[in-house]
Structure 1
Amino acid sequence: MEMELCCEEHEDPGMECTEYVAREAISVVADRDSPTKLPCGPAEEGDKLLRKKVLELGALNSLHPTWGQEVTVKMQCVLEDRTVVEKDWKLVFVVGEGDVNQALEECVISMHKGEITLLLADSQYAYGLLGREPDIPAWAPLLYQLQLLDIREKTDPLTLPIADRIRIGNQKRERGNFHFQREENSLAARAYCMALDVLTTCNKDGSSSGIEAEEEEVRDYRIKCLNNLATAQLKLGQGDEALHTSRDVLTLEPINVKALFRMGKILSDKGEYKEAMEVLKKALKLEPTTKAIHAELSKLVQRQLGDKDTQEWKAKPAKMLGDNITPFLCPSKKRTFGISWKFILGALVVALGSLVMSVILTARN
């Protein structure tokens, strides 16, 4: 999920990152020779991309969070110029599910409950080349002040109320949209799949717990997730998976034009022209003015004509001077020309016969 600014009216002095504190923190954490620096997460040899400084120790007898556990973190983030770009006094996320950037996940799994830490994160672990519009520029390192408030096991989504499932599912869907806009298609597809796991009205025993309005809302969000997932899969070159996902959309909504168009395009690319034509015609009937559907139908017709011409020629073995020659293309149907070769051969025989008779008669005379 994208960070949401959830600031309370009052400020927590223990977490307030003033300009002086930020300047000193960047200086201390960035100092490679400082004895207080702690590498966090993977880093290249001799290049600490994530550097942390513990400001206040937590409960040392407590365990570190592990992947798949849910944590609650008090967080504030500033740029090098001390501009506050993120602040959340109660940020909840599951470690390893990509709900936050990699820097936060890598740092949290090294913390104890109650610990307060400064984290200086290289842009490669934050928002990288693209930054984050409008507040985080490209290649910007970020300074976080974090406090780990709570660690618990992730709740099974099938035991949650439907309203909570919709909220969590939408957060993961929006995270997928964030990655998709940045052309991070693998991360986007992963987020959409996680959203689909949550967006359901089924209980653990297989029964449905939602009222009609909730079921309709869940269905609408599932359709959005599936359509977005299919688009991401296509960009990743996963045509078969995108076709399957598009069929899932049509199971929920048979007249979904986006899914029909995408399915028809995939089938056309796979050479399944008959089914592709039926699907695209159905999409065109629903939206007769959409130019993309007209263009795809025209492309499909051209492909069909091209394949028909190709099928008129078939491979045929041939021999020459007793050696096998690589099969070559020859017409499958005999074509008729203006003068038959049999007629020409007959005329040649008659002419030769006449010439021989003339020579014989001349010799006798």
Structure 2
Amino acid sequence: MEEWSSPDDKIFKKILTNGHGHLKPHDESVVRLRVQDCPESLSSFNNKDLVVGDSEGELGRAVDVCVSTMLLNEIAQFTITIGLEDITAVIELVEFSFSGFIYQWSARKKMDLAIRHKEKGARHFNDRNHAEAAYRFTKAIKILCSIPIAVESKAELVDDVPRTDLRALTSKLYNNLSSCYFRENVYDLVSPLCQKVLEFEPNNVKALYKLGVAYKMDRDFDRALDALSKVIKIEPQNKACEHHLAEVRDELKKANAKMDDIMRKMFVGSINK
């Protein structure tokens, strides 16, 4: 009886009946499952058409992982660990449509899929479900990053997609992802994501503001001053930025006064010798 477990050991699989063929479902594959011997939380996946990659929540994503390991007509028992709970189910892959490998997809298909995930992420963000929103934005970024663009290429189109559109969408996704961590006060992740945005749009006010606040919270006041000053230059009436900028200037003033005091004492000490 063949067994398998995920790299994080949160999913354990025991094959009960071998499937056939060599293709397995992956993102965008439409599958139909028979789910048995399971708790109520998994019954919603039984005998319905599901699109791999569209399932919501930690349990839904776990089911996607389970399905992506299966061959057609395979029956397997899965144990899924969610938090401190172990959820067990017997799943049969009844049918699925193969949508091609991701490297075969056109830039247009990848971009459309990334937009779908972005829209899902935006809905979760508005509901303050930041973990789910971050997952969707990250997934969309990974899809866009899989579009091959030759470094030396000067072409304005990738397949039929303008490169400017790809850059704009990628920038927006990094910005959205940084907002998820900004709301959760995870400033060590906010900074690198905002810097990614600024590589695409050097004067992006939202990214500059979040970056400035992140630097301030990390007590890197010189960099905070630089970022927040740029925001005020672009948006002179930005009250939130004015507040943070005043605090940064106050902290720098204190630091400079402290340094002046240290230097004065060092100088006096050297004279006394």
Is this a same-fold pair by TM over 0.5?
A: yes
Query: Any unmatched runs of 5+ in structure 2?
Result: 269-273
CA contact (8 A) 1:108 1:148 kept: no
Q: Does 1:112 align with 2:71?
A: yes
Q: Give the direction of change, closer, same or farther, for the CA distance of 1:272–1:314 in structure 2 (3 Å limit).
A: same
CA contact (8 A) 2:5 2:13 kept: no
CA contact (8 A) 1:177 1:188 kept: no
- Give TM-score, length-normalised by structure 2: 0.64
Q: Give the direction of change, closer, same or farther, for the CA distance of 1:196–1:84 in structure 2 (3 Å limit).
A: closer
Q: CA RMSD in A?
A: 5.0
Alpha-carbon distance in 2 for matches of 1:90, 1:103: 10
CA contact (8 A) 2:108 2:160 kept: no
1:167 pairs, out of 108, 112, 117, with 112
CA contact (8 A) 1:113 1:148 kept: yes
Q: Does 1:184 align with 2:131?
A: yes
Structure 2 partner of 1:263: 211
Q: Does 1:223 align with 2:136?
A: no
Q: Give the direction of change, closer, same or farther, for the CA distance of 1:83–1:290 in structure 2 (3 Å limit).
A: farther
Structure 2 partner of 1:277: 225
Deviation at 1:222, TM superposition (A): 1.3
Structure 1 partner of 2:102: 155
Q: Give the direction of change, closer, same or farther, for the CA distance of 1:270–1:217 in structure 2 (3 Å limit).
A: same
SS in 2 for 1:184: helix
Alpha-carbon distance in 2 for matches of 1:283, 1:58: 58
Aligned positions, number:
254
CA contact (8 A) 2:175 2:193 kept: yes
Alpha-carbon distance in 1 for matches of 2:186, 2:42: 42
CA contact (8 A) 1:73 1:92 kept: yes
Structure with the higher fraction of residues in helix conformation = 2
Code of the residue aligned with 1:229 in structure 2: it is L
Structure 1 partner of 2:32: 74
Alpha-carbon distance in 1 for matches of 2:52, 2:18: 21
Deviation at 1:271, TM superposition (A): 4.9
Deviation at 1:101, TM superposition (A): 1.3
CA contact (8 A) 2:110 2:147 kept: no
Deviation at 1:259, TM superposition (A): 0.4
Alpha-carbon distance in 1 for matches of 2:41, 2:131: 28
Code of the residue aligned with 1:246 in structure 2: it is C
Q: Give the direction of change, closer, same or farther, for the CA distance of 1:86–1:261 in structure 2 (3 Å limit).
A: farther
- Give TM-score, length-normalised by structure 1: 0.50
Deviation at 1:305, TM superposition (A): 1.8
CA contact (8 A) 1:312 1:332 kept: no
Bigger CA drift: 162-171 or 282-291?
Answer: 282-291
Q: Give the direction of change, closer, same or farther, for the CA distance of 1:144–1:228 in structure 2 (3 Å limit).
A: farther
Deviation at 1:85, TM superposition (A): 7.1
Deviation at 1:293, TM superposition (A): 1.1
Structure 2 partner of 1:340: none
Code of the residue aligned with 2:169 in structure 1: it is Y
Alpha-carbon distance in 1 for matches of 2:46, 2:231: 44
Aligned ranges 1:1-365 → 2 under 5 Å: 41=5, 58-59=19-20, 62-63=21-22, 65=24, 71-75=29-33, 80=40, 84=44, 88-89=48-49, 91-93=51-53, 100-109=60-69, 111-115=70-74, 117=75, 124-125=81-82, 146-150=93-97, 154-156=101-103, 160-173=105-118, 181-184=128-131, 188=134, 192-199=137-144, 203-206=148-151, 207=153, 208=155, 209-210=157-158, 214-232=162-180, 237=186, 239=188, 242-314=190-262, 331-332=265-266
CA contact (8 A) 1:71 1:151 kept: yes
SS in 2 for 1:74: strand
Q: Give the direction of change, closer, same or farther, for the CA distance of 1:259–1:87 in structure 2 (3 Å limit).
A: farther
SS in 2 for 1:314: helix
Greater C-alpha Rg? 1
Alpha-carbon distance in 2 for matches of 1:166, 1:57: 36
CA contact (8 A) 2:77 2:90 kept: yes
Alpha-carbon distance in 1 for matches of 2:49, 2:112: 19
